[in-house]
Amino acid sequence: MKTILEVQNLCKSFEDNQVLNNINLKVEEGEFLAIMGQSGSGKSTLLYNISGMDRPESGNVFLCGKDISKLDDEKMSEVRLDHMGFVFQHSYLLKNLSIHDNIVLPGFRSGKMPREQVNQNADILMKDTGIDSVANHDIKKVSGGQLQRAAICRALINKPEVLFGDEPTGSLNSSTTKEVMDIINDVNKDGTTVIIVTHDSKVAARADRVIFLMDGNIHAELKIGKYEDYEEKRPLREKSLNQWLEKQGF
């Protein structure tokens, strides 16, 4: 197994609040990792610091063996645009653009692929996620679930190595959460590494591994294994995760 992301001795504080205290973490290529922990435990901070959205105070972050923790802002944006995708609790799509135009925008900005190929990728992604029928809709005229699927398409347009999510289902109801997570599991099955923060054990039970943050460190780790025959194994996965979470005081 190849390590795609390696975090070494990562520390981060905000003034005198030490939020991350010597985090060490390795993520394998193709892995699906869920990050859990109480509110304020530093989940988002960890995600932002390993994805170059924020800078560690000390420590290193390696993406595909390359130290990205000290890149200048311009290089870091390039790495993020070409190699990482992001999905947040809210879709943050641009209001004056259609669903399709929002999705292709990072593709055009990257310049990694010809525009024709970006458009083709967008068509495939929209079809795969079931939003092709609303491609030309105004973003104010589609549902929350459709918006979040569009946000996933936008995150995947440049075929990133890693898809990061911070509570990607945080504002969705349970049936839409299931639809969006089915898509994320499919993306992972196709080889994209997935790292998401969630407080929802039903979401985390779909990951291969869950880490639990506490007191600025990885307090515990649970290996669940690859998501396969999920519907059949779902109750068992959720049960063992919930038992483990209870042990962590969650």
Residues in contact with ligand ATP by CB under 6 A are 14, 17, 19, 37, 39-45, 199
Cβ closer to ligand ATP: 37 or 160?
37
Minimum Å distance from CB 166 to Mg ion? 6
Which neighbouring-strand residues pair with 3? 28
| CA–CA distance, 143 with 245 (Å, rounded to integer) | 32
Cβ-proximal residues to 166 (8 Å cutoff; 6+ apart), any chain: 43, 44, 47, 86, 87, 88, 89, 196, 197
Q: Which residue has the tokens 């205290």?
A: 21
With CB under 5 to 8 Å by kind, the binding choice for 72 among ligand ATP, Mg ion, none is none
| CA–CA distance, 53 with 101 (Å, rounded to integer) | 24
With CB under 5 to 8 Å by kind, the binding choice for 37 among Mg ion, ligand ATP, none is ligand ATP
Cβ closer to ligand ATP: 7 or 19?
19
User: How far apart, in Å, do the first and last CA atoms of the chain sit?
Assistant: 31
With CB under 5 to 8 Å by kind, the binding choice for 30 among ligand ATP, Mg ion, none is none
Residues in 43-102 that interact with Mg ion by CB under 5 A: 44
**Per-residue tokens: 183:** 């898509």
Minimum Å distance from CB 218 to Mg ion? 16
With CB under 5 to 8 Å by kind, the binding choice for 216 among ligand ATP, Mg ion, none is none
Residue ranges that bind Mg ion, judged by CB under 5 A: 44
